[in-house]
Structures are given as structure tokens and as C-alpha cells.
Structure 1
Amino acid sequence: MKKEKLYIALISTAFLFGGCSKDFLTKVPQGELVTEQITSGDGVEALLLGAYGIMNGNVSGTWGNYASAPSQWVFGELTSDNAHKGSDEKDQPAMNNLESLKPSAINDQLIAMWQVYYEGVNRCNATLRLLKQDQSSTKEISAQRAVEIEAESKMLRGHYYFFLWRVFKSLPYIDENTTFDEAKVKPNDTDIYDKIIEDVKFAVDKLPVTKFKGESGRMDKNIAKAYLGKLYLYQGKHALALPLFEEVIGSKDLLSMPFQNNFDIDKEDGPEAIMVSKHAINPNGSGDNANVGDMLSGLYGTSPVGCCGFYQPTIDLANVYQVDANGLPYLNGEYRTTPNTSDMQLTGKAKTDYKVDVTLRVDPRLDYTVGRRGVPYLDYGIMPGDDWIRDASFAGPFVGMKTMIKQSQFPGNVVAGENYITGLDVNIIRLADVILMAAECAVEASDLEKARKYVNMVRERANTLPRKQVGGVDVANYLVKPYPTFPDQAYARNAVRMERRLELALEGHRYFDLVRWGIAKQVLESYSAFEAKFLPYYGGLTYQPHNAYFPIPQTEIDRSGGTLKQHKEY
């Protein structure tokens, strides 16, 4: 999608939303565009682009959009066994509360999540209202294009509502037919999930196979099918989800898209990309259309990025990539028996002289997901350890990689002087994700051979990753092999779940997966006990049933005059 069009859209939607990023019920500010100025075919298209603009989780500016990031790292990863908040203990304490599963209704991360994605909902509704007005009067937009605009808008609205639903569960449903006065007192006392499905079903039926004008980032039929399948998967309706996933997989060849290309700014929009949040540095060098949601994950200290030291992989995640002699992962936590903690338990000369253990037998995806001391990191050189970490004693010795771009790619792809704000896209749904969701459905249908085939597709692609070396020597004993068999359903289920973790780590899925699988308590409490052996801060984690969702922001309850109701557990 052409980023310059977003500027027009963001301005032209302002008359409907006003201070929507702070309160979607505020009045229209003076000096902004009025309805007559955009009630045209071009105006409706501009409003639609404005609705797309919220896919990057940002309304304006750059700072403060972390919880609403399309990667969903705050709610999907920090809350899981994959990632720590990072930085130091005192920085962003609201994130600490989320990671420890002790959120309150005044947590600013919750406020950002709620307000940004309701802004997106409102922009979709505005597009639909003005589209209806056009079709009932001037008909500047052709009937065919009108149907496509409606489908794009509803697909976006379904996506924004789903992101909100996963976090908050109890939501007020506001659509294009909701009046201003109704919206002010709309309750959150019914489950809106069927409404989300209704929107995405419409998109499946009406979206074209090819994107409008070939613009990357646009919604299309494959995206809608993958998303509808995902919605069914969350309901446990595997028989409905599987055919949709298989239609998306179709004749695609996962091996044609190298794993590392998913995180390479020069290789975006490849065959694996399905639903993508597009990002770019603005022509004037500013970054509000960039990947501002992931900016805190920039490497700290002497690294080429220089900020900000958040979003560090856990010790548990760094070790889950260990494999047995057959190149298969340990499905029952055996990797915790001999964990690798890099240099964090060393002092003095032993730490200074640390050398990476080249005998460590691991899946090669480890070193394309986690930055380890002694291992080449993109084109930055050898990762030096603590020099790139804000406080290793607080969040551990590892750093993330999937949100970073190469130093050689900085020109034109970062905000000047702020190398942590990049134009890197975020894959919300990619092909490997769909394949593994299909595998999950196959397991639940007792088709273990189909499930094994899908899992092995992902593992075989992992085996093509270039081995990282120093001085011509592999920095690990890299080994990944396909499963020869799935002996029973329980084994197959564990294998699929493990593969999702290995393949999609730090991409925003993990916590939501654990919750929908019903295993969050056992996994997270076991992880906490392990992690605390090395980082005591993370011990004592307790998962309660209400941790499956988060509190409604108190600011929104207050603004509704009490119409919105808090979860009783909060």
C-alpha cells in the first residue's frame, strides 16, 4: 500500500473521531474537515486508508504504542514463557505487572490497547457509513468497488475487534448503525464473537482474490479465509477451520520462502506473507507510519541500535531449541536438565574469556530468533553479551532478533538518530502459522498423518537455514529433522504445540495459544519455577482463571458513566 495516501486518510477521518485516541466519544474539534469535504468516491477511499492506518497500532506520534503493536508482544509474549519485559526493573512498571499476571484497571498498557483499536473500529464504521451514503445518492463508487470497500472495512473491523476480544473479552459492540448517543451508553454485557465472525465471513465471500490495485497490505480473500479459520480454531471448531486453512495453503511451497526472509526489510511481501501490517519511514524522515510498536525492542548500549533494551527472550525460550540425537525437540521439558545460560553465571576472568559452546545441539531457528553471546547477529558482528543488554541480572543474557533490521539497511529504513524506529513490516498471519493451525486441526480430527506432514513441512524448511559460523566453524551443533511418526494423539498434540513455539516465538502468539489450549496454568507456573533458578525476580508466578483476560480500563468505565462493567475478578 502506498504510504503517502495514509496521510490524506488520517486527516480526513479526523472529523469523525476528534480526540478518538483519547476518548472515542468526544465532540468534533474546530479546524478539522467536515463531512461534505470527504463525501465523495475519493473521500470514501481515503477513509478506508485511514482505517488501514490503525493496523500498525498507532494513531499519532511514535512513543507509547507498545501495547497496541501489531506484533502484540506485550500481551502475547511478555505474559508467556517466551519473553521478559527487559530493560531494568523500574522502567515501564505497568509492563512488569502484566508479565507477573497482576494487571490493574489503571494499567496504561491496557488503556493504549483499548483506545487505539476502538479508533480502528470507528474508522471502519465511518467508511461504511459514508459508503452507504454514496451508494444511496451520487454513486460515485461503482457497485463492484462498493462491495469490495465494504468487505475490506469489515475485514479490518473484525481484526480490530478480535485483537480487543483476545485481551478484554467483554466489549461494547459499536458498528456503522450505532448512533453517537447509543455509543456513549453501549454496554459490554454480551459476547461479540459472533459479530466478529459475521464480519470476516462477509470478507471471505466478497473480497477479491487479488488485492485492490495490487497494493501490498490490502485485504484479500486468502487473508479472510485464514482469519476465519483462526476464529473457528479459537472456538474449537476444527472441522470448520481446517478446510479454510487448506485452501490458503493450496499449492504454496513453504520452502520457496526462507525463514529469515520473514524478518528482512528488503524481502517483504514474499510468498509466505499473508496478513501484514505495512510500515515505512515517511518521506520527511519521521516515523509515525513506521514500526513504532516494536521500537523498545531495540538493542541497548554499544549495539548499532543503541536503545532501548526491552523484550528479551527468556532463558527457557533460549533452551527450548535444544534437540535430541534424532534432531527432534524435547516435548516434556527435558531441555531444562542441562540449560545453557550463556555467560550470566560467570564472573571475572571466566566471564571475560567466555566462548560459545559449539557442541550445543540445537535447532538452527534458535540463532535466527535469539541473540546469544559469541554468535553472529545480523550484520552487526558477534553479539558481545552484556554490552548490548540494559540489565542482564534482571532480564537475562539474551536479546531478540526478529524485530531488528541489518545495519546496512538503516539508510532510508530508520528514523535519523533513532535506529530503533524502523520500517520493518509485521506478519500478523504468515504461511507457517496457517500450516501449523491446520496441523492442530488435523490432530483434533485424529488425522495424525496429515498433522505430521504439516509439522514436517515447517521443520524441513527450518533445516535449510544457513548455519552461523565464526572462523568457518559452526557456533552450535545444528540439527533439525522431521518426525518419523506420531505414535498417538497426545504425542501429536504436543509436537504441534511445540512447533508453534519454535517457529513463531516472539511473534505475538504464545500467551494466547496457551490460554486457548487450556494449559496456561501448568506451563507458566512450571516455567516460573525454572526461570527463577537463574533470575529470581520471575519466581512465584501464579496463574488464575481470570488471567485468561485483562481488566477493562478504568478510564473507559468512567467515561461510560458506569455503563461498561468490570470483570468481577478485577
Structure 2
Amino acid sequence: MKTIHKISIALLLTATVLSCGKGFLEKSPQGQLTDEQVSNTKGVEWLLIGAYGLMNGNRDGTWGNYAAAPSQWLFGDVAADNAHKGSTLSDQAVMFDIERHNPISVNEHLSTMWNNYYEGVTRCNTTLRQLKAVQEAGGSDVFTSERAKEIEAEARMLRGHYYFFLWRVFKNIPYIDETISTADAASVPNNVDVLPKIEADFLFASQNLPTDKPLGEVGRVDAIAAKAYLGKVYLYEKKFPEALVVLKEVIAAKPNLETLPFLDNFDINTENGPESIFAAQHAIDPDGTGDNGNVGDMLAGLYGSAPVSCCGFFNPSFDLVNAYRVTPAGLPMLDNSFRTNPYKSDFGLTGADKTNYSVDKTIAFDPRVDYTVGRRGVPYHDWGVMPGDGWLRDPAFAGPFVGYKQMIDQADFTGNVSSTSSITGLNVNIIRLADVYLMAAECAAETNDLPYALARVNNVRNRAAKLPFKKIDGVNAAAYKVSPYGSFPTKEYALNAIRFERRLELALEGHRFFDLVRWGIAKESLEAFSAFEGSIISSYAGLSFEEKDTYFPIPQDQIDRSAGALTQNQGY
């Protein structure tokens, strides 16, 4: 059951706290809570729920939170080679600046990302300060030492998450913890590496959270989530041996990936299942509004006659779709030969050719393509056959494809789609088990344990081979094939295969740009992508990627408010 919480809290900073989740407390009080009201165990628990509330990226209403989406579709996929911002060129043109890596510091989406996630940090810090005050006050209304440690660990886990998302986008950010007053926070500079502090929060959480969900509530974080996130941070720090240790612990605590259906990750009936490790919880309010739903992805709704429609943003690229083409052996085209004679669906066709278009069922595809991307002529969820332009805003600008993973079946619409038909209650997985397998494979390859790396990649591929094939009039929609690798002959080959597998498995889940940056191949990858994609749609040609483009500018309004404490990122 999805439950919803709204709390308005006045404590040092006035903040609207929005939270939702499955299995959270069945409470929904409203109104102002004073300092006195939160100076007790109940108040601290409410503050903690409020800290969870920012996981859906929504700080102040349904519209405008796209850059803060937990899926990170704008920064993670549109800024990479997986997707275009979509819609029309003039609609949210500042998103196109992010896609083309030429944003300026007053770009509204940078401010949204900064403000919303620092609001999450503030809520975590408020929880930690008030927890300390309650415990130090003594008396009868205090937490047990066990619950107090859990609350501290939950708050620090969430704080680490909010900071990690900020760090990946902006790199040079101010670090503010619970010991810094609200008055002093504005003068904290951004000249210190915050990644060790983020690591410390996850380490503390991994050591002090239980393996079961605190209070038995499925939306909360646990030790497994903390270890997975700690391993992820170690990976970003290139601490490969340390990362591999904790990632192996996560893998050992979970069922074999090959036994867990891929589609359960994107099914509203099976979310929070065994593959889900850390997820933003979403729900549609009982009155049909979507403030607690997946508001960050609402623009990525389809368009026109699509059952869930909004704005036609977030269109998968030709490059991504063709990356799912396979060799006769059922393996990825690691040499990027998938860009030769590319598949374009009905793009560029006119007249009778356009009207009479039919899917070429002979193309050899990894079956994950049709559970990641919607393409004309192929069944899409249970909505029927994807009709092409009827579900697209401007295919001449953004291409002929739509996203698949962020949508739900029509059979599940009741209670799970907003009254405006643009927001769903589908959770967003921030870390799932396949991601952990591939991070572990990468760490193993980096430490020259190629057999372990091979086994983990093949677990992912063997699971993909179990996907049901999409059919058109009873015939497979493609020559589907996905096979395990026979060997990883060298470290270089292994890393190339692992990187390619991350793209295929985790496409449109917000990882790609940050992966390219940490691998040090963003420039070569994105410029090659631009050359290919631009040969089909000229708007995407001519990208020149510089070192500064590995992160984004600090919002100018934050620099102005800091009275000189914050300095702009180099190059902007």
C-alpha cells in the first residue's frame, strides 16, 4: 500500500516536508510544528520522514522539478549519448543548453537541482540536530540507544545521497553539516573536496543500520543500501579493492540476479522487490493529485494520443537504440560498428513509405531494446502498438523513439496515474542489484580478477536472455539474441565490455553521463556521438566537449547570496 505524508515544519528554516512511501507510518498531520513540538521523539521521527521526502526531488509543487528528478534523466542521460531533451527546440530551450554542454550559470535547471537537494541536506541536518537535543535533554521521552543510532544512520545515509547527487553535477560544492548554524551556512565556501565526507556518511550508515528495514517500513534505508552506496562512492574514488569488498557483501545478501525478472524493476506491482536496493518512493494522492508521485519524470510522459501524456520530452537517441544491435554471436558491437547502416525506424520517410512503414523484423537486437525504448510498430506495455508520430511532440527535432521504463501498464492506471494523466506513482530505482553486479565487475576488472568480472557481466546478460520477445502478429519483432561472453581475454577488453553492458542494462536510468565522466572518456564518446547523431539530425552535430563540461556551473543566484563565499567552477 502506498501511503502519503505532508508535514509543514517551522524549525530554524521554514520548510514544506513532503514524503511518501509504501509501508511508512499511516499518519498525515498538517499545520505548523513549533520548536517545542519537535523537541521530542515523535517530532524527531517526523523530521526524519521529512528528510526522506526530498528523495522524489519535489520541494514546492508538481511542476518545475524536472532537474531534481531522482532518475536524473536530464543530467544523466540527456547530457550524455542516450537521449535528447525532446519536445520542441523552443520548449525548455535551457534544457537544450544542458544537452549541448553550453549552459550558463542562470540556467533555471541548475538552480532547481541545487535548491532541491540542498533542501534535502537541510532536512537531514535538522533531524540530526534535534535528535541530539532530545537525547541530551534526558527525561522519559528519549529514544533507546538503538533507535537513536538508527535515526542518525538513516539521516546520514540520506544526507550522503543528496550530497552525492549534488557533487556529481556541480563537483565543487559547500559542505554543511548539523554542526553549522543556519546563519553560518551561507558563508561556507566550496573549496573543499566533499567526497570523503560523503563516504564517511555512507560508512557510518553501513555500520549502524540494520539489514532489515528500520521500523519494518519498506521505504526506509537499510545496511544493504548503505553498503551499495558506499561501494559506489569508493568506485568513483577509484578505491577498487575497497569497493569490491562491500559490493560483494551486497551481492551475497541478495538472491541470484538471474532469478529476478528484469521487468519487475519497472512494474508498479513488483517495485521494492529483491532487486531494488535504494529507491525513491512515489504515490498518487487519494484526490488524484501527483505532488508525491514521480513528478521529476512528468515531462518525459509521451504525447498526443498516448494514454499517459504530457509534454513529449526525453526521447531516446538513435545511438542508444542502435547500441542494442548485436553480432551474429549475440554480443554487443564493442567497436561501435552499430553506427554503420543504422536503424532509424520510420524517421525521414514520407508519403506512402511513411504510411505503409512496417518493422524490419530481421534486425538482430538485444531484447532489452524493446523494454527500454518504444519504437513504431512494436507493442508498448499493454497500450497497444506504438504508432510513431502520434505519440511524439516533434520527431523531426528529437527523433522517433520514446522511453519505456518510466511508464506503467494501462491495467494499473487506477490509483497510480494523476488526474491530469501526466504523473505516475512508479518508484524510481536509484541503485538496483544489476547496477551492483556491474560495479563489482568493473572493480574486479580493475584489479585484474577477470574471471569474477566475466561471471558478473554474464549474470546480467543471462537474465536479459530470459526476457519475453515482443511479437507483431505472432512473429518476433526482431531477430532477438543476447549471449554470454566466452571470455575476457584482457583487462582492456573486459572494461570495454563492462562499460557497454552498463549502457545496455541501465539505459535511461540516469547513470550514463556520470559514468562517462568518471571513466575519463566523456570527450571522445560525446564527440563521436555528436558526429553520428548529427548525421541524422543536424541539431546534434558539432559538439565540442571541454574539461569544464564534466561538471556544470554553480547557480549564479547562489554565488550572489553567498557574498563571495562561493566561487564559480573553472571555465564558466
TM-score (norm 2): 0.96
SS in 2 for 1:382: coil
**Which letter does structure 1 place at the counterpart of 2:68?**
S
Matches within 5 A, 1:326-345: 326-345=329-348
Give the structure 1 partner of residue 28 of structure 2.
Answer: none
**Which letter does structure 2 place at the counterpart of 1:308?**
C
Give the structure 2 partner of residue 499 of structure 1.
Answer: 501
CA distance in 2, matches of 1:127, 1:307: 36
Task: Tell whether the 8 Å contact from 2:325 to 2:366 is kept in structure 1 after alignment.
Answer: yes
1:224 aligns with 2:226: yes
SS in 1 for 2:193: coil
**Which letter does structure 2 place at the counterpart of 1:256?**
T
Question: What 5-or-longer segments of structure 1 have no aligned partner?
Answer: 22-30
Shift of 1:213: 2.2
Give the structure 2 partner of residue 53 of structure 1.
Answer: 53
Task: Tell whether the 8 Å contact from 1:20 to 1:119 is kept in structure 2 after alignment.
Answer: no
CA distance in 1, matches of 2:390, 2:154: 46
1:550 aligns with 2:552: yes
Give the structure 1 partner of residue 8 of structure 2.
Answer: 11
Shift of 1:193: 1.1
Number of equivalent positions: 556
Task: Tell whether the 8 Å contact from 1:410 to 1:419 is kept in structure 2 after alignment.
Answer: no
**Which letter does structure 1 place at the counterpart of 2:300?**
S
**Which letter does structure 2 place at the counterpart of 1:314?**
S
Shift of 1:282: 1.4
Shift of 1:284: 2.4
CA distance in 2, matches of 1:474, 1:568: 51
SS in 2 for 1:478: coil
Shift of 1:60: 2.5
Give the structure 2 partner of residue 245 of structure 1.
Answer: 247
Task: Tell whether the 8 Å contact from 2:8 to 2:15 is kept in structure 1 after alignment.
Answer: no
SS in 1 for 2:277: strand
Match of 1:278 among 268, 277, 281: 281
**Which letter does structure 1 place at the counterpart of 2:162?**
Y
Shift of 1:33: 2.8
Give the structure 2 partner of residue 427 of structure 1.
Answer: 429
Matches within 5 A, 1:387-406: 387-406=390-409
Shift of 1:548: 1.0
Shift of 1:338: 1.8
1:459-489 deviation digits (Å, cap 9, x = unpaired): 0000000000011110100000000111111
Shift of 1:19: 6.0
CA distance in 2, matches of 1:248, 1:70: 22
Task: Tell whether the 8 Å contact from 2:548 to 2:570 is kept in structure 1 after alignment.
Answer: no
Give the structure 2 partner of residue 437 of structure 1.
Answer: 439
1:470-522 deviation digits (Å, cap 9, x = unpaired): 11110100000000111111111100000000000000000000000000000
CA distance in 2, matches of 1:2, 1:384: 33
Matches within 5 A, 1:306-345: 306-345=309-348
**Which letter does structure 2 place at the counterpart of 1:500?**
R
SS in 2 for 1:96: helix
**Which letter does structure 2 place at the counterpart of 1:182?**
D
**Which letter does structure 1 place at the counterpart of 2:522?**
A
Task: Tell whether the 8 Å contact from 1:20 to 1:115 is kept in structure 2 after alignment.
Answer: no
Shift of 1:285: 2.0
Matches within 5 A, 1:99-248: 99-137=99-137, 138=139, 139-248=141-250
CA distance in 1, matches of 2:50, 2:272: 21
Give the structure 2 partner of residue 486 of structure 1.
Answer: 488
CA distance in 1, matches of 2:296, 2:389: 24
CA distance in 1, matches of 2:359, 2:2: 44
**Which letter does structure 2 place at the counterpart of 1:473?**
V
Distance 1:357 1:421, change over 3 A: same
Shift of 1:559: 1.1
Give the structure 2 partner of residue 287 of structure 1.
Answer: 290
CA distance in 2, matches of 1:482, 1:458: 9
SS in 2 for 1:265: coil
**Which letter does structure 2 place at the counterpart of 1:567?**
N
TM-score (norm 1): 0.96
Task: Tell whether the 8 Å contact from 2:364 to 2:481 is kept in structure 1 after alignment.
Answer: yes
> What is the Cα-based RMSD across aligned positions, in Å?
1.3
Task: Tell whether the 8 Å contact from 1:319 to 1:336 is kept in structure 2 after alignment.
Answer: yes
Give the structure 2 partner of residue 91 of structure 1.
Answer: 91
1:302-326 deviation digits (Å, cap 9, x = unpaired): 1112321000000000100000010
**Which letter does structure 2 place at the counterpart of 1:47?**
L
Task: Tell whether the 8 Å contact from 1:415 to 1:422 is kept in structure 2 after alignment.
Answer: yes
**Which letter does structure 2 place at the counterpart of 1:207?**
L
**Which letter does structure 1 place at the counterpart of 2:232?**
K
CA distance in 2, matches of 1:19, 1:482: 50
Question: What 5-or-longer segments of structure 2 have no aligned partner?
Answer: 18-30
Shift of 1:17: 2.5
Give the structure 1 partner of residue 516 of structure 2.
Answer: 514
Task: Tell whether the 8 Å contact from 1:15 to 1:32 is kept in structure 2 after alignment.
Answer: no
Task: Tell whether the 8 Å contact from 2:58 to 2:116 is kept in structure 1 after alignment.
Answer: yes
Give the structure 1 partner of residue 20 of structure 2.
Answer: none
Match of 2:459 among 436, 457, 460: 457
SS in 1 for 2:279: strand
Task: Tell whether the 8 Å contact from 1:369 to 1:402 is kept in structure 2 after alignment.
Answer: yes
Give the structure 2 partner of residue 297 of structure 1.
Answer: 300
Match of 1:363 among 363, 366, 371: 366
Shift of 1:2: 6.1
